[in-house]
Amino acid sequence: MGNSPADFSQLASDAILYNPSDLACWVDSLLTEFAEPPPTCSSDFIVDPVNNQTVVNSAWTFAEPHTPQVHQNITYDEQQSLDNQLTVVTAMEEDSGIRLVHMLMTCAECVQSGDLSLATSLIDDMQGLLTHVNTVCGIGKVAGHFIDALSRRIFQGMGGGSVNGGSAFENEILYHHFYEACPYLKFAHFTANQAILEAFDGHDCVHVVDFNLMHGLQWPALIQALALRPGGPPLLRLTGIGPPSPDGRDSLREIGLRLAELARSVNVRFAFRGVAASRLEDVKPWMLQVNPKEAVAVNSIMQLHRLLGCEQTRNSPIDTVLSWIRGLNPKIMTVVEQEANHNQPGFLDRFTEALYYYSTMFDSLEACRIQPEKALAEIYIQREIGNVVSCEGSARVERHEPLAKWRRRLSGAGFRALRLGSNAFKQASMLLTLFSAEGYSVEENEGCLSLGWHSSPLIAASAWQAVPAWDNHMSSS
Amino acid sequence: MVQNHRREDHETGGENKEKRPKFFINDHVDILIEILERLDGRSLCVAASVCRLWCTIASNDSLWENLCFRHVSPPPSSVRSVVLALGGYKRLYTGCVRPVRSRLGRVRRASWARDEVQLSLSLFCVDYYERLGGSNSNGRLVEKSSPSSLMFLCKPVNV
């Protein structure tokens, strides 16, 4: 490699330096970048001074005017002070944190038993206690959200909730930032895509039904993988289900157009169909227009739990939907759900579980440094908390159930589990290694993958196939 | 560079009293390309700031294609059209392959080399898709024009 200083100086006479005064330290920063960097080294790419930024720009991208590194709102100084904030936890704060948790549990117990006056006074006490605790991170932040949810439950009754508080547009934005800030959704998408890709092997006409399209972030990677599969891409049809958008915007169609443009760039024949429905149980199979000759994949990322109404009647929404899914005879159904038990009838049990689950999730989010992604992701999670704690009946849609329960439910509905292969596991492990925090872990559990933070599983992905019908269903043979 | 010196010796050994111009690599673009093809990413970027000619050559996408697939068996030909459609090899390398490789370097297993490139390609595709969204008049939706899905790759590794 011809990088010796002698060669460098020989060419210096013909050199054009983009920023002569800073070339030396820029080269230094490049040379030190690949040594095992101390945490501060990264600031070379983040820090504001305009000179350094332009030099870095011109090194890495000549044609494009911007680089991914440019977009950082937190300056180096702020970063330092944030770090300090995070690491300093006094003994008194720890005590207050523990007291907060105890008070939260007591308050939840009061709510369950109906002692609302005591609950109210506890809420006041807790809000007082919050002022002594660091609410920027740790237990203080999570406790704050739970206190809010509890007080909403007490004061507004149980329909008051965050589930209908946000418009579809807001929810999409929050979801997008949650996607960026932590790996849960990326893990879900990549794992599901891998399973779908393997299931579609050998088929020329494929149809994917997405139960919650949002911005369609899952599908570019699948389109690209199909474009590159040996034997060429199939004809891909995508049916995206999503809430209807108000004021004339057709967000489903816009996403469809974007995906179509991507597919066209990579030469994949693509057709999109949007189904607008405010609830999943309103969707009927004829709306999906499934062709009997095509291979169907049904993709549900954190949607099935919304169908678990509290009444266990025979025609509960979940049974209806599962039976028409089965009627489609999909080659694969990918199910990703939160690995939590938030659908227990008893309020206190649910509250305890939720407190533990969301504390873990907030913990994992601490490692995220990008703003505003982190803040908006927290609002996204906060809305979930609000729904689990302060809503009841049909307003409570976040009815998470653990994988074991889903296994029983899906097996009972005529599905059998497909093992997610080693490719999916490898891809998930690689994906996690890329994330900046080292607490994430992927585990394999009887053919299903789960992603967790410090060995507490938080989200689980599984794949299913319809068992050939033995009763008189109207399914193809 | 070894070739370089041999030529120099040959030239100066023959007629050393005459005023012959010294060997100048920029006169031999084919050799220059051969050399640049063997550089790693960082060196290629350093080389690109040397002079206009080197800059032009270094921004040639095929050099970056080499870099992406250096430790991997050659990919099928269909990959190139896809990568070019999504933004080109230089963007793929600087945005995805390099950060992925350096992050995974600590836990690298030999069998992962091809999967790293495939994962990079998938992330690259998501990035392209988000950049598509930036050109929409979607109001607040994608206000920031820079892609956000690769932000996590650019963040410092925080142990």
Which domains, from first to last, does chain A contain? 80-156 (no CATH), 179-339+401-466 (3.40.50.150)
**Chain A residues in contact with B153 (beta carbon < 8 A):** 68, 434
Chain A, nearest residue to B106 by Cα: A433
∠ at Cα B9 (B5, B13), nearest 5°? 170
Could A367 and B140 be called an inter-chain contact, meaning their C-beta atoms sit closer than 8 Å?
no
Confidence of residue A370 (pLDDT cuts 50, 70, 90): confident
Q: How many Å apart are CA A348 and CA A135, to the nearest integer?
A: 24
B69 touches chain A (CB under 8 A): no
Chain A, nearest residue to B38 by Cα: A1
Structure tokens at A51: 């000179």
What value does the mean pLDDT take over residues B34-55? Answer: 88
> Would you give the DSSP letter of residue B152?
H
What value does the mean pLDDT take over residues A315-328? Answer: 90
Check the CA dihedral A248-A253-A254-A257 and report its sign.
Answer: negative
**pLDDT given for residue A50 in this prediction:** 38
Residue A427 has its nearest CB partner, among B45, B78, B115, at B115
Could A18 and B49 be called an inter-chain contact, meaning their C-beta atoms sit closer than 8 Å?
yes
Q: Give percent of chain A with pLDDT exceeding 90.
A: 48
What type of residue sits at position A149?
Answer: A
**Helical pair A347-365 and A138-156, crossing angle rounded to 10 deg:** 140
Is the peptide bond prior to A39 cis by the omega test (within 30 degrees of 0)? no
| Arithmetic mean of pLDDT over chain A | 80
Mutate to test the interface with A, among B151, B153, B159 (most CBs of A within 10 A): B151
Shortest alpha-carbon distance between residue A229 and chain B (Å): 9
Chain B, nearest residue to A428 by Cα: B119
Chain A, nearest residue to B75 by Cα: A228
Q: How many Å apart are CA B134 and CA A172, to the nearest integer?
A: 15
Whether pLDDT at A30 is above 70: no
Confidence of residue B62 (pLDDT cuts 50, 70, 90): confident
pTM: 0.77
- Window 2-61 of B: residues touching A by CB (8 A cutoff) are 25-26, 35, 38-40, 42-43, 45-46, 48-52, 55, 59
Confidence of residue A411 (pLDDT cuts 50, 70, 90): very high
B94 touches chain A (CB under 8 A): yes
In this structure, of A154-168, A289-303, A311-325, the range with the lowest mean pLDDT score is A154-168
Q: How many Å apart are CA B108 and CA B96, to the nearest integer?
A: 16
Whether pLDDT at A82 is above 90: no
**pLDDT given for residue A476 in this prediction:** 46
Whether pLDDT at A380 is above 90: yes
Could B82 and A224 be called an inter-chain contact, meaning their C-beta atoms sit closer than 8 Å?
yes
Mutate to test the interface with A, among B64, B94, B111, B154 (most CBs of A within 10 A): B154
Could A217 and B126 be called an inter-chain contact, meaning their C-beta atoms sit closer than 8 Å?
yes
**pLDDT given for residue A29 in this prediction:** 56
Taking the alpha carbons at both ends of chain A, their separation in whole angstroms is 64
- Window 45-64 of A: residues touching B by CB (8 A cutoff) are 45, 58-64
Could A67 and B94 be called an inter-chain contact, meaning their C-beta atoms sit closer than 8 Å?
yes
Confidence of residue B7 (pLDDT cuts 50, 70, 90): low
- Find out whether B43 and A1 touch, Cβ atoms under 8 Å: yes
**pLDDT given for residue A16 in this prediction:** 45
Confidence of residue A349 (pLDDT cuts 50, 70, 90): very high
Residue A436 has its nearest CB partner, among B48, B132, B158, at B158
- Using CA atoms, how far residue A331 sits from A197, A219, A267, A272, A464, in Å, is 11, 18, 24, 19, 8
What type of residue sits at position A85?
Answer: Q
A235 touches chain B (CB under 8 A): no
**pLDDT given for residue B102 in this prediction:** 80
What value does the mean pLDDT take over residues A367-382? Answer: 87
Interface confidence: ipTM more than 0.85:
no
**Chain B residues in contact with A223 (beta carbon < 8 A):** 125
**pLDDT given for residue A69 in this prediction:** 37
What value does the mean pLDDT take over residues A275-288? Answer: 91
Q: Is B156 helix (H, G, I), strand (E, B) or coil?
A: coil
Confidence of residue A61 (pLDDT cuts 50, 70, 90): very low
